[in-house]
Structure 1
């Protein structure tokens, strides 16, 4: 089944003349970029958006992965933070982020002669609340993984089968996803969240989130790692570090990390 889906993915790109890939460096867009390059060669271009909501380390990873694939790679700056509809952090914040992204990529693609703008949306993404998908569709972007019914797990399995070293890289959505809906997002807030997550990564915790609510940082780790974290971490030193980043309080979510946790309040917003 996976081999068939991989063949269909390659065939899909073979039908294209040129393709511009919205490339974040995550496993989904990396797989898309890899297959696009394998099929189209120098007629494929990966473009990464640089903004305050992207960790600098993630940008560096994207650059290195693009080099390892061989695909041509460009970096563009996006300015979603200038849009009050984004910075005010409504429940459809991602719509305005992806609008800014694709309003940047589509003209760039047309200017450079790329007929298609391709993203890394997979079939599982269609089952979650993802207003950004609508913004991308409105601007004509295509999602080969979703079109072919390729799930997140299948993305990882295909990536591993073709030798992508990042096949098991943890998901890393933009830093703006760390804030509860309705709390204004600012560059200093994004910076302190980013610094806090880098601190935890350097302690050896890759799959981690630091949720920010006003002056409070809430650390989310996989549930099975919580006891190890408490036993092996200098909590006083960690608290002091987080306070130096700009937080006042530091807490630990005892439920553990769960993707999309902040979306559990959406029914409340809908009423």
Structure 2
């Protein structure tokens, strides 16, 4: 695919992967809609884009799933059309299962899964009417295999794969594409903002995230996967091979993850 004359809507665009992706895509001949809860930060991202006049800020809270149809209609009205929806918004989690409140599990599912699904369903009729559309979903390698201290996060990301695999099948006839982006460790603030067992933010970076891919390197690979309309893209360092190990032997990936002592 090409980004020329496309309108791309990015959630979670105020920082991290979303911010870097917005800046990178602004160099193409396309229009951007940037969404997150933090309007001030979105305005800063817009100012860093190549052509700010082709970038629109649209505040959005993924937790407000009942507002998604309204927000989608507002987004469509900005440039008259949406061609690509990048479902990047979400939160992470770092805590042992025994120490994690069920309210944290619920919050991860409501934001990472239900918020993304609600927005995607709201824009689906627009994609069907156009007989064209591309969902780009930022999942995780943790949506393909799991690790300790991320149970709620892994559950939500696994659920996304189940939903969007079904959507891809149902709407192949409508020329609707789905690309699942599965990051490994990327050097962003995702760990600092991750929820602990009681719902508070972790507040510090972990070593594996600190030593992860540079976010701009990651985004280059992500854009390449989107343009190729890949079904799934595993982007990371050595950890990405865990997907293939899991296919070969669930017991082996269990042993390798145990040995890695990732926290």
**TM-score between the two structures when normalised by the length of structure 1:** 0.39
TM-score (structure 2 length as normaliser)? 0.40
